Amino acid sequence: MIQKKLKPKKTYNIYYLSMDELNKLIESTKSLRDQIVLKILARTGMRRFELCNLRVMDVDFTKRRIFIPKAKGGKFRTVPVDRDTLQSIKFYIGSRQNGKLIQSNKKDNDGIDESRINAIVKNTAIRAEIPHPDPTKRNMNPHILRHSFIRHMLKIGVPPNYVQQLAGHSDIRTTLQMYGIPSFTDVQEKYDEISNTFYGDKNI
């Protein structure tokens, strides 16, 4: 009996949003809550379910960190966060000291759920007229913000072992396998750099 060889599973993603697109998404949100959701996803690389489980007490405004109590694999980790996002969070929570960080608009539900985060990202992208960078995808999804964060960290020269910690990958090989392959945008930029150096601008 001849056994068919199985094709290796694709474990990388070469598509991501530019910084201009990420900023435009954030600017296109319709509420402070939605803006914070996008800021955290895009600026920390946090997973959707990790964001859902954040509590007010998990934000350290002094050390500029967010503690993630429930990360992938049942583990926990801490990620740094920028001052602008922290300022938005501080204004959003007001005097609240307990409960889930991101609240649901429903009075009978303390925290936001993953489906609501999906809708926020999808609807904001439609409003901003920003398509998913992967032409095979119809709608924008939260995970592309994580992919974009990691891609940009590597692109600006953050060492892979640092990015591994930020992304919450248990093995650095996961970071390199998933994000080590350059995107077409990266290849295009490098090509343009080389072509300008060697071929010059002939204004053709």
Cα dihedral sign, 9-14-17-19: positive
What integer pLDDT is reported at residue 171 of this predicted model?
81
Cα dihedral sign, 129-120-23-169: negative
Contact 70, 129 (CB under 8 A): no
What integer pLDDT is reported at residue 61 of this predicted model?
97
Angle at 95 between CA 92 and CA 22, to 5 degrees: 15
Smallest CA-to-CA distance from 82 within 11, 170, 23 is with 23
Active-site residue, selected from the candidate residues 33, 72, 77, 132: 72
Active-site residue, selected from the candidate residues 43, 116, 146, 151: 146
Helix axes 172-179, 160-167, angle to 10 degrees: 100
Based on the residue annotation, tell me whether 83 is a catalytic residue of this protein.
Answer: no
What integer pLDDT is reported at residue 90 of this predicted model?
97
Contact 92, 36 (CB under 8 A): yes
Give the max Cα distance, the chain.
69
Encoding tokens for residue 140?
Answer: 């924008």
The DSSP output letter for 74 is G
Based on the residue annotation, tell me whether 100 is a catalytic residue of this protein.
Answer: no
Q: Cα–Cα distances in Å, from 76 out to 48, 60, 63, 146? A: 15, 15, 17, 17
What integer pLDDT is reported at residue 8 of this predicted model?
47
Smallest CA-to-CA distance from 51 within 81, 96, 87, 15 is with 81
Based on the residue annotation, tell me whether 146 is a catalytic residue of this protein.
Answer: yes
Domains belonging to the chain, first-starting first, are: 19-180 (1.10.443.10)
Based on the residue annotation, tell me whether 147 is a catalytic residue of this protein.
Answer: no
Based on the residue annotation, tell me whether 72 is a catalytic residue of this protein.
Answer: yes
- Per-residue pLDDT 10s for the chain (204 aa) are 455 555 545 556 788 999 999 999 999 999 999 999 999 999 999 999 999 999 999 999 999 999 998 887 778 899 999 999 999 999 999 999 999 999 987 766 688 999 999 999 999 999 999 999 999 999 999 999 999 999 999 888 888 888 888 888 888 887 877 777 777 788 888 888 888 777 665 554
Burial profile 44-78: b = 16 or more Cβ within 10 angstroms, e = fewer: bbbbbebbbbbbbebbeeeeebbbbeebeeeeebe
Active-site residue, selected from the candidate residues 33, 65, 122, 143: 143
